[in-house]
Amino acid sequence: MLIQTQVDPYNKVIATIKSCKTKSQLEGASRMVENFKTLYKKVGYPKTISYSLNNTLKQQYIITRCQL
């Protein structure tokens, strides 16, 4: 049960990033990612989660830029 609790906020951040359609929404998602990393750094989390969040955000920036 503990693992699901840690993964659920991560999945919510990923879903938020993927739902962004504008640059301002992506800026908000970027702040959300930084807040997530700050919070979970204090309790310890795998570096792969940080990489995955950054990579998903980067991909969404590219997708959004191509759509504009």
Tens digits of per-residue pLDDT, 43-52? 888 889 999 9
Q: Taking the CB of residue 63, how many other CB atoms lie within 10 A of it?
A: 14
- Gyration radius of the chain over CA positions: 12
The per-residue pLDDT for 45 is 81
| Residue at token pair 């979970």 | 40
Distance, in Å, from the CA atom of 68 to the CA atom of 61, rounded to the nearest integer, reads: 11
**pLDDT for the residue numbered 1:** 44
What is 4-40 written as a DSSP string?
Answer: HHHHHHHHHHHHHHHH--SHHHHHHHHHHHHHHHHHH
Residue 54 pLDDT class (50, 70, 90 cuts) = very high
- What pLDDT digit, counting tens, does each position of 4-43 carry? 555 688 999 999 999 999 999 999 999 999 999 999 888 8
